[in-house]
Structure 1
Amino acid sequence: MSDPWDLSGEEAPRLVDPVAGEGEGAADAALRPKRLADLAGQDRVRDQLSLVLEAARRRGAPADHVLLSGPPGLGKTTLAMIIAGEMGAPLRITSGPAIQHAGDLAAILSSLAEGEVLFLDEIHRMSRAAEEMLYLAMEDFRVDVVVGKGPGATAIPLELPPFTVVGATTRSGLLPAPLRDRFGFTGHLDYYTAGDLASILARNATLLGVESDADGIREIAGRSRGTPRIANRLLRRVRDWSQVHGHHRITREAAQEALALFDVDLVGLDRLDRAVLEALCHRFDGGPVGLTTLAVAVGEEADTVETVAEPYLVREGFMVRTPRGRAATPAAWQHLGEEPPSSPAGRFGQQPPLA
């Protein structure tokens, strides 16, 4: 009698493939474009940045400091990697929350090589002491290391090799003006069009080794909120659904079935987004309603509703922010398949609840 747990026979490779994840990991790492020429979308920023980098290469000097701003998921980290690749320089990655003391920044700066690219993600969250040290380092390539305490403390100047700072922020308004002024180039990343996302997804599907139809790719792109990070995540989920259900290609039907399973509707709204709209329209008759009350109604934290759901709902015209709170627009009612109320103030009449 054969052992049912014996995987030494010829059927074993069908059950367990020890190298199945190696190509997958390599493909995932290859999804980020390595050159500006491979970057789809962001044409204005790409052309401007190409000029800055080409001029620096011709001078044989490090590129000017670069500040990248925009919503999360649009490719700020990818652009930092591209800058390092285009300049043929090593890349050092850190983040603003990780630098809470001037000594932390001094340790990083003192170890930089000439021409190295230092990527500071969420740069607006650096401590004030570290920001003041960064001013001097970016402008004069020098930091002052304080030795000792009290009246006997001594500042020792430390010369730094020329380097490039690439800062990324989702809230550029929080950056102090002296720090913003020290960046030679500032680029703002906008949301991608469905066509640009379709180009990105078609390329990434090939890198993942997945066959796809143009209709299937467009279906995913149209539900990706104009964000490549979301598009790549949905692509992986559609790929998983297709593989499990025995499909060899990502078709429009496969994309629709998979995205319906993961609660992503035709315009990209997920479970939380629809919960917010349903609470606004059904429980509060369109609002206005305060953020905290709305968050309690959907069972989430107020910060989650404000930072995750609200930006896209406002951008797509499903919700508005008023002095008295959040309110649903006629488009929200139509998206839920209902007629908007005749009175814009809902059941609250002319005295809506305070925010």
Structure 2
Amino acid sequence: MTERVVAVESAAGDQRLDRALRPRDLSDDEFIGQEGVKRALRLMIQAAKQREEPVDHILLGGPPGLGKTTLAHIVANEMGGRLRVTSGPALERPGDLASTLSSLDAAEVLFIDEIHRLGKTVEEILYPAMEDFALDIVVGAGKASARTYRLALPHFTVIGATTSAGSLTSALRDRFGAVHRLEFYCPEECARIVLRSADILGVDITDAGALAIARRSRGTARVCNRLLRRVRDFAQVEADGIITDTVAAQALAELDVDHQGLDAMDRRILTTLMDAFGGGPAGLQALAATLAEDVPTLESYYEPFLLQAGFIARTPRGRVVTRLAYEHLNREPPRTAPEQAALL
């Protein structure tokens, strides 16, 4: 799968600049948008500081690229503790998690990305650690003489991030004191993100240029910053170095990103639904096979934005193209099937 400029997942080239652009605190000038989440976190942090104890465990859900990792960094910084970063797939065995937990210091924040991908045996190690700040160690497992020893852990905070909150077990979800979902950013918030990043990078950009990038950023902060960098390159080489709305539109057209933020693969998905399935409904497996993609990639990588933007909809029988998609591609909607009637 080739890298997409509008991909919401972090690419290898993003990481260094992402760190430079990362908001440092929860102020409105630094971390833009997500107002409800910010208010709740400010309150939790202030209360924990007053009690002189670590902040409660936090679960952050929502699509990738919206700031879950950034919020973990901010919480750790506000609480004066170090941030330890790992992920569900990286913790393959119970021993991996046990080793990480036993090395934590007091007030440290353990950030587990993709926490929904923890294996069951690994997850069970986490329960007493989160609830009782203890690590249960089994000696002689599988033998009649097996014994369990409990190792006390310093008080710490777990921040879990997930793009699939429904995949978490209730036992794990219930151990988080706060559960928040990050939402897509509106165009105005994306424009503010672009302007803030442009200021940090020393990029000359107009308000209209920032909004032109924002409208193509798929409501995602990470995409805002990636598109800004690509448009900056275009403006430097092909224009006078100033990003206007015209320059931004030209640059993104070169990247095959249209005015709604759709790229070639997005349009291929929509046209396949229209041409091969009459607009739908189409089962996810059938659609993936027609596109020569695997189901998890289609479901987690391509589909979320098309659903969020209203170009496709889920029905009990499968995916259906909406009127908005036909209008966007300048196509006439077909005579509607019963499943499509409410959408067309």
What's the TM-score once normalised by structure 2's chain length? 0.89
Tell me, what secondary structure is at the counterpart of 1:152? Answer: coil
Whole-angstrom CA distance in 1 between matches of 2:122 and 2:287: 38
Tell me, what secondary structure is at the counterpart of 2:148? Answer: strand
What aligned pairs does 1:206-245 form with structure 2 within 5 A after superposition? 206-245=199-238
Alignment match, 1:114: 106
Alignment match, 1:162: 155
Match 1:336 to one of 326, 329, 335: 329
Answer yes or no: is the 8 Å Cα contact 2:88–2:115 preserved in 1.
yes
Alignment match, 1:304: 297
Alignment match, 2:4: none
Tell me, what secondary structure is at the counterpart of 2:202? Answer: coil
Whole-angstrom CA distance in 1 between matches of 2:280 and 2:174: 42
Alignment match, 2:9: none
In structure 1, runs of 5+ residues without a counterpart are 1-23, 351-355
The 1:306–1:144 alpha-carbon spacing in structure 2 relative to 1, beyond 3 Å, is closer
Alignment match, 1:12: none
Alignment match, 2:21: 31
What's the offset of the Cα at 1:96?
Answer: 0.9
Q: Could you give the per-residue CA deviations for residues 305-329 of structure 1, whole angstroms, max 9, x where no partner exists? A: 3222222222222222233332222
Alignment match, 2:259: 266
Runs of 4 or more, structure 1, over 6 Å off, are none
In structure 2, runs of 5+ residues without a counterpart are 1-13, 340-344
Answer yes or no: is the 8 Å Cα contact 1:52–1:64 preserved in 2.
yes
What's the offset of the Cα at 1:25?
Answer: 8.8
What aligned pairs does 1:168-207 form with structure 2 within 5 A after superposition? 168-207=161-200
Answer yes or no: is the 8 Å Cα contact 2:232–2:241 preserved in 1.
no
Alignment match, 1:71: 63
Answer yes or no: is the 8 Å Cα contact 1:28–1:208 preserved in 2.
no
Q: Which residue identity is paired with 2:34?
A: Q
Q: How large is the Cα RMSD of the aligned pairs? A: 1.9
Whole-angstrom CA distance in 1 between matches of 2:49 and 2:17: 30
Q: Could you give the per-residue CA deviations for residues 45-72 of structure 1, whole angstroms, max 9, x where no partner exists? A: 0001000001111111111111111111
Whole-angstrom CA distance in 2 between matches of 1:256 and 1:228: 19
Answer yes or no: is the 8 Å Cα contact 1:27–1:207 preserved in 2.
no
Q: Which residue identity is paired with 1:218?
A: L
Tell me, what secondary structure is at the counterpart of 2:320? Answer: strand
Answer yes or no: is the 8 Å Cα contact 2:135–2:151 preserved in 1.
yes
Tell me, what secondary structure is at the counterpart of 1:277? Answer: helix
> Across the two proteins, how many residue pairs are aligned to each other?
323
What's the offset of the Cα at 1:107?
Answer: 0.6
Answer yes or no: is the 8 Å Cα contact 2:239–2:247 preserved in 1.
no
What's the TM-score once normalised by structure 1's chain length? 0.86
The 1:303–1:174 alpha-carbon spacing in structure 2 relative to 1, beyond 3 Å, is closer
Determine whether 1:287 maps to 2:277.
no
> Which is bigger in relative contact order (C-alpha 8 A, separation at least 6)?
2
Alignment match, 1:253: 246
Larger-Rg structure: 1
Tell me, what secondary structure is at the counterpart of 1:115? Answer: coil
Whole-angstrom CA distance in 1 between matches of 2:105 and 2:35: 31
Tell me, what secondary structure is at the counterpart of 1:240? Answer: helix
Whole-angstrom CA distance in 2 between matches of 1:25 and 1:72: 14
Whole-angstrom CA distance in 2 between matches of 1:292 and 1:138: 38
What's the offset of the Cα at 1:285?
Answer: 2.9
Determine what percentage of the aligned residue pairs are the same residue. Answer: 51
Whole-angstrom CA distance in 2 between matches of 1:97 and 1:300: 22
Alignment match, 1:14: none
Tell me, what secondary structure is at the counterpart of 1:168? Answer: strand
Match 2:35 to one of 43, 48, 54: 43
The 1:246–1:320 alpha-carbon spacing in structure 2 relative to 1, beyond 3 Å, is closer
Determine whether 1:142 maps to 2:125.
no
